[in-house]
Amino acid sequence: MRKNKSSNIDKYTTSDGYAYLTKRMVVATAKAAGRRAAKNAMEVMGYVVVSEGGWVVKKFKDGRVEKLSKLV
């Protein structure tokens, strides 16, 4: 089996050859996936529901924001 020359692969590999994930890698990937999902939902549904400024709000594709419920 050939070793990959990528520095990221080597950087996140233990001395015995096992790859591992860091918390930073997991958080960054999860955030990116969330942004992609929100963008896709906006295209399909025309709105997304998020929490913002102590409120649950519905953000529409045209820029409108509708407050749904105050967070306690």
What CA–CA distance (Å, rounded) separates 46 from 41? 7
The per-residue pLDDT for 42 is 95
Question: Where in the sequence is the domain holding 16, given as residue range(s)?
Answer: 7-70
User: For residue 5, what pLDDT is reported?
Assistant: 52
- The number of domains in the chain is 1
Question: What is the pTM assigned to this prediction?
Answer: 0.61
- The two tokens of residue 8 are 């990221």
Residue in the structure block whose two tokens are 């050859």:
17
Q: One digit per residue, pLDDT tens: the chain, 72 residues?
A: 445 555 556 788 888 888 888 999 999 999 999 999 999 999 999 999 999 999 999 999 999 999 999 998
Residue 1 in domain: no
Give a yes or no: residue 2 inside a domain.
no
Which residues, including other chains, have CB under 8 Å from residue 67's CB and lie 6 or more apart? Answer: 55, 56, 57
